[in-house]
Amino acid sequence: MDTRRHIKNAGRIVVKVGTSTLLYDNGQLNLYRIEQLVRELADLYNQDREVILVSSGAIGAGVVRMGLKKRPTGVREKQALAAVGQGMLMHIYDKLFAEYGQTAGQVLLTRDNYMQHRQYNNSRNTLLTMLKMGVIPVINENDAVAVDEVKIGDNDNLSAMVAALVDADLLIILSDIDGVYTGNPQTDKNATLISEIDEITPQIEKLAGGAGTAMGTGGMATKIEAAKIATASGVTMCIAAGAEKNILRRIIDGEAVGTIFPPKEAHLKARKSWLAFGKRINGDIVVDAGCVKALKAGSSLLAA
């Protein structure tokens, strides 16, 4: 497929890894998989590609550090655990990246950083400067202080927003499932993997399941939402299984793994992307049939 062949030329890559990929089923950190992920990212960097990691797992790591049996449901408890776990997680990343000769830098974001255009630009400039300096940004939502009003909600959407923010060529979301299926593969033995989704239709949205794992917050539905953001911003997106060996290299090499979402040809530019996905909607705009026709032809509602 042309889309997979073009992936080989991706120069700026955002990789999102979920909690379910970083932890064992018993809630303990899967250090082998984390090391494997860092090694692959470092190798991509050595190929003169720019790499950004969006990592979940702060609360899960906090649960491990505090010796809890399960993840709490209270907001305050989760925020406290995020503060503990984020430092633990970043220490692991920093140590592993250093062993491969790379420098990692932590960036914590909230929706506020996207709602305010000045902060949006500052976030963009910081990330682009880090890439220019040869630093690998490790990004997470600032769960320790974020409340519902300023939370992005999940790191699938966060990774898509980051990919749009830095004009990435490719977004790879590593999950506990290897892509979008025609049905629920756990209950439907005839369900098959969809290799490429050119358009996100209501039917595709219905295929997305609900909740993620006990330690995570996402599911396939949030990944479909992320695909909408990424493809509308001109970013190719791929959903693949984080447990697969050498999965990043296989995706970059064009192997038919996971589900790929090609970018839209007429994608949004930086400011329109911010208006569409960063800023909260505060009202409604009603347009007539003539305006709809003009908008579909490429015109803008923005003042000249």
Q: What are phi and psi of 173, to 5 degrees?
A: -105, 115
Q: What is the mean pLDDT of the chain?
A: 85
Rounded Cα–Cα distance for residues 248 and 116 (Å): 33
The rounded distance, in Å, linking the Cα atoms of 288 and 304 is 20
User: For the chain, what is the radius of gyration of the CA atoms?
Assistant: 19
Least confident of 43-57, 68-82, 138-152, 171-185: 138-152
Going by pLDDT thresholds of 50, 70 and 90, the confidence category of residue 70 is: confident
93 membership: H or E segment, kind and range: helix 75-99
Taking residues 23-46, report their average pLDDT: 93
Residue 4, pLDDT above cutoff 70: yes
What is the tens place of the pLDDT at every residue in 236-245? Answer: 999 999 999 9
Contact 33, 138 (CB under 8 A): no
The pLDDT, as a whole number, for residue 296 is 86
Give the pLDDT confidence score for residue 110 in this predicted structure.
Answer: 79
Q: Is the pLDDT at 45 greater than 70, yes or no?
A: yes
Ordered by start, the domain boundaries in the chain are: 2-296
Query: Quick one: average pLDDT of 164-169?
Result: 93
Distance CA 10, CA 48 (A): 10
CATH fold of the domain at 2-296? Carbamate kinase (3.40.1160)
- Residue 55 near residue 140, CB atoms below 8 Å: yes
Q: How confident is the model at residue 266 (pLDDT cuts 50, 70, 90)?
A: low
